[in-house]
């Protein structure tokens, strides 16, 4: 897993079916992506390629290293969430549409395609929309809520709810690593988009 929801939706470059595929990809295992319409399939494939690229990126690895001694294999998931925070916080550098308008449009598109969504996504979607997770990633409090939810899902084993401590401690370092990594991921994904 590399990069979280907002980053994957953004990296669909306003292609709505691909954004849905990019969003649901972690809930679609193996070759089950072939059960979806072609553009959603492409979004799922893009998501997987983006994750592979990001996991190998030096800046992403640097971010993980700051967390690994405390959070072990959960450190990659935490960095994904941190990077969504920095994307949301710096949204105006990346997109002409405001973050609020962008997230609202995505939720509308998601609702219109609810019959295609995996069960796991259907269960999560009402909470995501009601609390506007994607918009609230820009706030430390929003990230804290996400980390608390992730910690509950691991039955308290991950201690991810504590990771805002490291986010604040190394804030500038994480943000700079995000900029380097995300710039390269964006260029990579634009090239990838042209091959689909």
Residues 126-141 have a mean pLDDT of 93
- Domain spans of the chain? 58-195
SS3 181: helix
pLDDT at position 2: 44
CA distance 65 to 63: 5
Mean pLDDT of the chain: 93
Task: Name the band, by pLDDT with cuts 50, 70 and 90, for residue 39.
Answer: very high
pLDDT at position 3: 54
pLDDT at position 1: 41
Count helices and strands in the chain by DSSP H and E runs:
11, 0
Residues 29-53 have a mean pLDDT of 94
Q: Which DSSP string do the residues of 76-97 spell out, in sequence order? A: HHHHHHHHHHHHHHTGGGT-SS
pTM here is: 0.94
Task: Name the band, by pLDDT with cuts 50, 70 and 90, for residue 195.
Answer: confident
CA distance 145 to 148: 5
pLDDT 10s digits, 51-106: 999 999 999 999 999 999 999 999 999 999 999 999 999 999 999 999 999 999 99
């Amino acid at each position: 897993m590399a990069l979280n929801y907002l980053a994957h939706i953004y990296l669909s470059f306003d292609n709505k079916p691909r954004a849905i595929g990019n969003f649901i990809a972690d809930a679609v295992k193996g070759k089950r992506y072939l059960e979806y319409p072609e553009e959603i399939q492409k979004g799922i494939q893009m998501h997987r390629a983006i994750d592979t690229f990001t996991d190998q990126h030096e800046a992403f690895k640097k971010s993980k290293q700051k967390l690994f001694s405390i959070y072990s294999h959960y450190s990659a998931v935490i960095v994904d969430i941190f990077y969504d925070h920095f994307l949301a916080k710096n949204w105006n550098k990346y997109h002409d549409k405001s973050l609020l308008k962008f997230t609202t449009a995505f939720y509308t598109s998601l609702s219109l395609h609810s019959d295609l969504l995996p069960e796991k996504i259907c269960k999560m979607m009402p909470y995501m929309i009601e609390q506007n997770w994607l918009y609230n990633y820009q706030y430390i409090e929003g990230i804290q809520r996400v980390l608390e939810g992730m910690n509950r899902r691991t039955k308290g084993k991950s201690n991810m709810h504590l990771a805002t401590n490291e986010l604040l401690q190394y804030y500038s370092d994480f943000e700079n690593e995000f900029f380097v990594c995300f710039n390269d991921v964006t260029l990579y994904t634009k090239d990838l988009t042209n091959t689909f």
